[in-house]
Amino acid sequence: MEKFEKFSGIAAPMPLVNIDTDMIIPKIFLKTIKRSGLGVNLFDEMRYERDGSEKPDFVLNKPAYRDASILIAGDNFGCGSSREHAPWALADFGIKVVVSTSFADIFFNNCFKNGMLPIVLPQEQVDLLMKDAEKGANARQEVDLEAQTITTSDGTVITFDVDPFRKHCLLEGLDDIGLTLEKSAAIDTFESQAAQSRPWV
């Protein structure tokens, strides 16, 4: 997993509430077990007409937000079924941060495991970021995980909370496999000692 670094990016405003995982990535695209290639189908039903053409009014189809890396979302983002394809699709599109007043628990946990940062903020702060995002591509927001801050395009600084262990994993680029490999020396020592003390195993 790539290390999460401080960055400045375009924030897309998506004030809809209760965006579930089927809206994020419809079930017809769940046949793959690859994390790549799902970005094109992100928000498929909201993003495309039945003939495959883009809906021009959908936020991520607008020229200002095609390269968005931050999503300012409505309440209860990522609710519904527990599909890991949802954060895969967001990450493959290029989204690094999702801000909302609340997230579904499983989606929230899956974000961290896939290198994305979900940020929970009070409604008034989400509203402020939403309004800033509505300015378009020139209104870039800066996310600093180390300092736990989001800075708006006009310099307003908002602080956020994040679990220290999850913060460490994101900053170091550690998924579950990476965390295990950090203990490889201790594992090797244990296996060597076990082989000597229990050669019959």
For residues 132 and 140, what is the distance between their CA atoms, to the nearest angstrom?
Answer: 9
- Res 181: pLDDT: 58
The structure tokens listed for 198 are 């229990």
- Res 180: pLDDT: 59
Contacts of 120 (CB under 8 A, 6+ apart): 100, 101, 102, 103, 160, 161
Note down pLDDT in tens along the chain; length 201 residues: 889 999 999 999 999 999 999 999 998 888 777 778 899 999 999 999 999 999 999 999 999 999 999 999 999 999 998 888 999 999 999 999 999 999 999 999 999 999 999 999 999 999 999 999 999 988 899 999 999 999 999 999 999 999 999 999 999 998 766 665 566 677 667 777 777 788 776
Query: Can you list the positions of beta strands (E) in the chain?
Result: 7-14, 70-73, 97-100, 117-120, 140-144, 149-151, 157-159
* Measured CA distances, 110 to 24, 52, 81 (Å): 14, 29, 12
Q: Which amino acid is at 76?
A: N
The structure tokens listed for 149 are 């801050």
H or E element at residue 199: none
The structure tokens listed for 145 are 């995980």
Predicted structure pTM score: 0.87
